[in-house]
Amino acid sequence: MRRTTQVDVKRALVLTATFSFLCCCSKACLLPFLTLYFRHLGLSPSMTGIIMATKHSVTLVWSPAGGLLSKRYNKRRLVINCSLVFSAAVVLLLLLLSSVGTPGAQSSTCNTSDLSSGSGQSEMNVTPSQMLPTHTNLVILTSPVSEWKLGPVTTPPNRKDTDHSEVPVSQGNSSEVPIISKTSVQHSTVSSLVNAARNKRSVITSDRFEDKQKGSSEFLETIKEMDIQNQLFYLTLIIVLVWEFASAPLEWTADDGLYEYLDYADASDRHGSADVWGLLGAVCGVGGAGLVVAQLSCHAAATRSSRSAVHFYSYAGLAALALPVGVHLPLYLNRKRDRANGLLKGVQLVHGSPHALLCAFTIVLVGVVNSAVENFLLWQMEDHGSTELHMGLSLALSLLSQAVFPLLAGRVSKLLRPGRVLVIGAASLGLQCFYYSFLWGPWAALPAQVLGTLSSGAVWWAVRIQCEDVATPGAERSVRRVYSSLCLYLGSGLGSFAGGFVAQRFGVTWLFRGVAIGIMAWCACLPFLQWKAPRQRRINYSRLLAADASEASDSESEPERDWLDKAMEDDRGNNNYERRIRHQN
């Protein structure tokens, strides 16, 4: 951009707000419901945790690296447009994956008759209003193949249901249930049950399958010998890797280009308005997606094989709408700011302050807790009868509550220091997680979302104040990114990896209780550590500039004083010489 180019700040702000709104709205339509889709495919909690941990790890590394490369080669607009196109295309590949006949799969069957059903049913007697699979699938899979046959039989009148031989279907076909015995199984006319039986038989036979083709490679033989669930896991992992590789540089690259454009126009203080529009877009995305999916008819859901497909189509559609805005985004490349305000500079500033290090470790723990909530909260809600409507409205309320705290920040800052606000915010997040472990109905998670005002709003307000205390002039964004990108994604990756195995071993309920106890224990120790940590004296740069100016004036006055003294001495010498001449005459 040349200096003679006229800068239209209003147009830049409108395009920035529109782009931020569409991008955040598209992400909110899919990302909160992504792990729930993995559950419907039949992936276990540990597999889901590994996939999400890999996703956060790619974002942690590739997001700053992609932004740096796009800036170095001046390809920001190309990176933004390609990221929108390829991320929207790759994510649709997840819809090509078919679910497996394991507990958790086929749980997205259509049911819109009762949106307020509770969790009063037991695990072995599940009503059609519940969207969960029963444990009957486990009984079928663990039994020997030779003992089961398919054929029409009649159930003895004295037979009881203690062996879990009945599987509930839908309300419309409540009379047609498959009766499973050691001799035969009643043939059902429901096509979904036939497909489920085929999937179950394929799972059983795939373990004993041996490849007899000698010309195939070892990799292909390994893939063929895997069971269906492991094949599905690796395919999902590969697709998520490619998807995150395409979408990770988008936010970082666009934010850098827009900020440098506004900074070029001396309007960098107005760059924060994009965050507000992004938050509103996320609220509209998560709430709207949940509402649309909940209102779909059974016929529309059946034709797309899963109502979860609406989330993917919404993501791709909004990304396509953001593409024309991305083409006209006002971007500017300031190469002089590359070294002075890099991410390494922010890491050095945080490393040099004990209070900043305590804040960074707190954000890592916040990322661990957030990963548990983001990955498995919807699982917990679904276990208690919640539908996409309950989930979407709960998450939308949580995002709205985060926007309330900046309105209260002025009063809170007069009562509490930023360090105390950080402790209260992290403790509120732990309390919120502890509440999630005691859900009892579809709407039970809604009251806890109000705590998002403290758990998220207060934490990031305290982080912003900490950035202002630590950062040198011009490095505020770099320090802020150390917290919001590096520390947060590091905690999210670690939390997703460990949380998946904890949920697999102990259950989602104990996962929430464990992370809640962990972060609340840290909050109990944090005030003492803040008190013992040495507080560095904040440098007043205005005083330094004034001192430099006074020293410069003093240094300039000294030569002038020396010149004046020398001139006066010369004048005195000349006067004395004239007096001597006159006296001699």
**Per-residue confidence (pLDDT) for residue 26, from 0 to 100:** 96
Q: Which stretches of the chain drop beneath a pLDDT of 70?
A: 1-6, 101-226, 297-306, 333-341, 536-585
Name the strand (E) or helix (H) holding 92: none
User: What pLDDT, in 10s, does the model give residues 282-315?
Assistant: 999 999 999 998 887 554 544 445 678 899 999 9
In sequence order, what DSSP letters do the residues of 274-301 get, joined into one string?
Answer: HHHHHHHHHHHHHHHHHHHHHH--HHHH
Backbone angles phi, psi at 106, to 5 degrees: 60, 20
- Name the DSSP letter for residue 105: E
Quick one: residue 507, left, alpha or beta (phi over 0 = left, psi -120 to 50 = alpha)? left
User: Quick check: do 1-109+224-340 and 343-538 share a fold?
Assistant: yes
Instruction: Please tell me the CATH code under which domain 343-538 is placed.
Output: 1.20.1250.20
Residue in the block written with tokens 């900490």: 466
**Per-residue confidence (pLDDT) for residue 297, from 0 to 100:** 57
**Per-residue confidence (pLDDT) for residue 412, from 0 to 100:** 86
pTM for the complete prediction?
0.74
Angstrom distance (rounded) from CA 223 to CA 217: 10
Residue 390 structure tokens: 């309950």
**Per-residue confidence (pLDDT) for residue 212, from 0 to 100:** 46
Q: Where are the domains of the chain?
A: 1-109+224-340, 343-538
Residue 474 structure tokens: 């011009």
Residue type, 329: L
Residue 169 structure tokens: 């279907």
Burial 206-224 (b: 16+ CB within 10 A, else e): beeeeeeeeeeeeeeeeee
User: What pLDDT, in 10s, does the model give residues 168-198?
Assistant: 443 444 434 444 443 343 434 334 444 554 4
Angstrom distance (rounded) from CA 161 to CA 418: 60
Helix (H, G, I), strand (E, B) or coil at 99: coil
In sequence order, what DSSP letters do the residues of 333-360 get, joined into one string?
Answer: --TTHHHHT-HHHHHHHHHT-HHHHHHH
Residue 168 in contact with residue 177, Cβ under 8 Å?
yes
Angstrom distance (rounded) from CA 85 to CA 410: 42
* Alpha helix segments (H runs only) across 73-124: 76-91
In sequence order, what DSSP letters do the residues of 89-138 get, joined into one string?
Answer: HHHGGGGGPPP-SSEEEETT----S-SS--S-S-SSS--TT-----THHH
**Per-residue confidence (pLDDT) for residue 404, from 0 to 100:** 86
**Per-residue confidence (pLDDT) for residue 172, from 0 to 100:** 40
Residue 287 structure tokens: 């709430």
CATH for 1-109+224-340, options being 2.60.40, 1.20.1250, 1.10.3470, 1.10.10: 1.20.1250
Residue 373 C-beta-side C-alpha neighbours within 13 Å: 27
